[in-house]
């Protein structure tokens, strides 16, 4: 038996639990111990639910002992981004405005994790309302990158990627509106998948931009992501945009791990100027590996991608300004009374609450969104952006006529220093230049560690994109590449991260 259970993958843990080599209680306890040892440094959790997780683990162990047939991942613990409603557990979205709010219901994703018998370790840190690329916009302080605690873990779901990178959880749930699963995966040396839009229910996911949001797996291996994807995916009548079709055969594809005869398109517009040398070098190497393994590689141009970031920063704030209108001091969380006003009106309470409860980035986007939607400007901004969105979807369609999958670097740089981009929103926004097109078009994307950059020794990521509903292709290519990269680097990349230990240990 491995002395440190936290180093095992979810697939390995699942196997050991199913064969009764390990109990779920042991597995959960070792992760809780790990959290207690390192999370003061990493700060990836906003809330740890030790009692709840152990109780769920005990119940799985009992059901297993009584011979009940259980889900493959039963007993394997997981962490959930704090943007998902969890019945009885705080859900803050990284915001003061939801401080103290305890949802009365579970998001569908959470309900499915529970139904599969997966103990929930806690809720992970994030940029406020999922706006950001570094977790520095969390009202509760940033998460630190386990590779280097002075650096960002990516965002907005930096907490979910950091918990898997720091071995605090084998699996986590993230959400990706413009890159918030894939960019954190890239800068923490982990795997992150944004499924096809509509592939995973958004019911109970606190909306940032409803037409872009999608929840997905944050893991250390491609197979683990596939196993988790099949738990959370599939039709949900509670989400009107949910796809009514079976979950793509992602686990099978991950196990097959084959690229022979596959056509891979390198996106011309993503990867040139503005991308760090080490990111590009590792990307080129990964592409060469795919070619060696029998894939046919061609360059593909997607000219409208140059306008994706601009379109996104009109569409996202527009939807966000509307979605965030519900935080009005009447229904949830915080209520602040304006100072020095006797008998304040509802409007005054609303204004005081939103002023105190929302951080700068959220305010910035609400202002941008209401402006873009205002009469007189609607056609010029929101309308134009929607047209660009269509052109981007057309670029994808044309590209997928020629190739089976598209690839690019995931993020233009490795993890930057905490504080580096806080005063420069534009440079923060550029972190998602390669990930945003997939959200605008609704296609699935995966980020996989491609190696370490020579200049700073930090992890780099490669992004794989597939046509909508063909998520299995990400897993086939991802698993094949992962195998080759493990050989190339002499083991899993994360083994090269400085090993965090308890303070003073």
What residue ranges bind ligand GLN (CB under 6 A)? Answer: 130-133, 156, 176-180, 208, 316, 432
- Contacts of residue 427, defined as CB under 8 A and 6 or more positions apart, other chains included, come to 421
- Our CB check for ligand GLN shows the closer of 253 and 428 to be 428
Which single residue is written with the structure tokens 């190696």? 451
Minimal CB distance to ligand GLN: which residue?
180
Report which secondary-structure segment, H or E, holds 52: helix 50-65
Torsions phi, psi for 45 (to 5 deg): -100, 140
Shortest distance, CB of residue 432 to ligand GLN, whole angstroms?
Answer: 5
| Interatomic CA distance for residues 391 and 137, integer angstroms | 31
- Our CB check for ligand GLN shows the closer of 32 and 131 to be 131
- Our CB check for ligand GLN shows the closer of 136 and 236 to be 136
Shortest distance, CB of residue 378 to ligand GLN, whole angstroms?
Answer: 21
**Which is nearest to 434 in space by CA: 266, 299, 271?**
271
| Interatomic CA distance for residues 276 and 497, integer angstroms | 20
Which single residue is written with the structure tokens 């898997």? 164
Active site residue 470: no
- Our CB check for ligand GLN shows the closer of 39 and 432 to be 432
The count of other CB atoms within 10 Å of the CB of residue 422 is 17
- Our CB check for ligand GLN shows the closer of 32 and 152 to be 152
The count of other CB atoms within 10 Å of the CB of residue 116 is 21
Shortest distance, CB of residue 70 to ligand GLN, whole angstroms?
Answer: 33
Instruction: Select which of 30, 180, 186, 230 is catalytic.
Output: 180
CA angle 208, 210, 214 (to 5 degrees): 85
- Our CB check for ligand GLN shows the closer of 363 and 402 to be 363
Shortest distance, CB of residue 126 to ligand GLN, whole angstroms?
Answer: 8
**Percentage helix, strand, coil, to 5, in the chain?**
45, 15, 45
Instruction: Select which of 23, 24, 134, 156 is catalytic.
Output: 156
H runs (alpha helix) in 378-455 = 384-402, 425-429, 436-441
Instruction: Select which of 81, 194, 421, 470 is catalytic.
Output: 81
Active site residue 180: yes
**Which is nearest to 109 in space by CA: 16, 191, 205, 207?**
205
The count of other CB atoms within 10 Å of the CB of residue 58 is 15
Shortest distance, CB of residue 160 to ligand GLN, whole angstroms?
Answer: 11
Active site residue 81: yes
Q: What is the DSSP string of 428-444?
A: HHGGGTTTHHHHHHT--
| Interatomic CA distance for residues 70 and 272, integer angstroms | 48
- Our CB check for ligand GLN shows the closer of 49 and 127 to be 127
Shortest distance, CB of residue 209 to ligand GLN, whole angstroms?
Answer: 8
Shortest distance, CB of residue 410 to ligand GLN, whole angstroms?
Answer: 12
Number of helices and strands in the chain (H, E) = 16, 11
Residues designated catalytic: 81, 156, 180
């Amino acid at each position: 038996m491995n002395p440190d259970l936290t180093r095992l993958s979810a697939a390995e843990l699942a196997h050991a639990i199913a064969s009764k080599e390990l109990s779920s209680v042991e597995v959960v306890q070792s992760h809780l111990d790990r959290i207690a040892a390192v999370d003061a440094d990493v700060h990836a959790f906003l809330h740890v639910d030790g009692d709840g997780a152990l109780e769920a683990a005990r119940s799985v162990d009992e059901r297993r002992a009584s011979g009940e047939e259980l889900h493959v991942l039963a007993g394997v613990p997981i962490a959930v981004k704090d943007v998902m409603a969890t019945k009885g557990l705080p859900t803050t979205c990284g915001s003061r405005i939801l401080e103290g709010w305890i949802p009365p219901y579970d998001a569908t994703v959470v309900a499915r994790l529970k139904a599969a018998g997966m103990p929930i370790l806690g809720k992970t840190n994030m940029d406020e309302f999922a706006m950001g690329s570094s977790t520095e916009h969390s009202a509760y302080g940033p998460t630190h990158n386990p590779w280097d605690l002075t650096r960002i873990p990516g965002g907005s779901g930096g907490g979910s990627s950091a918990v898997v990178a720091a071995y605090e959880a084998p699996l986590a749930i993230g959400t990706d509106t413009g890159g918030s699963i894939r960019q954190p995966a890239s800068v923490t040396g982990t795997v992150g998948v944004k499924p096809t839009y509509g592939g995973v229910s958004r019911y109970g996911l606190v909306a940032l931009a409803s037409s872009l949001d999608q929840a997905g797996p944050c893991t250390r291996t491609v197979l683990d992501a596939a196993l988790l994807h099949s738990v959370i995916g599939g039709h949900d009548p509670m989400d009107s945009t949910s796809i009514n079709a079976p979950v793509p055969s992602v686990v099978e594809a991950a196990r097959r791990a084959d690229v022979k005869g596959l056509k891979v398109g390198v996106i011309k517009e993503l990867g040139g100027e503005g991308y760090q040398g080490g990111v590009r070098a590792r990307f080129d190497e990964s592409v060469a590996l795919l070619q060696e393994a029998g894939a046919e590689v061609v360059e593909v141009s997607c000219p409208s991608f140059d306008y994706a970031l601009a379109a996104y920063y009109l569409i996202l704030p527009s939807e966000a300004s509307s979605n965030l209108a519900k935080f009005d001091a009447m229904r949830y969380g915080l209520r602040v009374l304006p100072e020095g006003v006797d008998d304040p009106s509802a409007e005054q309470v609303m204004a005081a609450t939103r002023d105190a409860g929302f951080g700068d980035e959220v305010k910035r986007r609400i202002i941008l969104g209401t402006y873009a939607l205002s009469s007189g400007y609607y056609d010029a901004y929101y309308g134009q952006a929607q047209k660009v969105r269509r052109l981007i979807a057309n670029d994808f369609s044309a590209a997928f006529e020629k190739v089976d999958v598209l690839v690019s670097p995931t993020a233009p740089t490795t993890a930057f220093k905490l504080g580096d981009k806080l005063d420069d929103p534009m440079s923060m926004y550029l972190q998602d230049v390669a990930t945003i097109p997939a959200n605008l078009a609704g296609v699935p994307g995966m980020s996989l560690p491609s190696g370490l950059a020579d200049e700073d020794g930090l992890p780099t990521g490669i992004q794989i994109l597939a046509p909508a509903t063909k998520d299995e292709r990400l897993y086939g290519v991802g698993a094949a590449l992962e195998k080759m990269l493990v050989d190339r680097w002499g083991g899993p990349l994360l083994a090269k991260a400085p090993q965090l230990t308890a303070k003073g240990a």
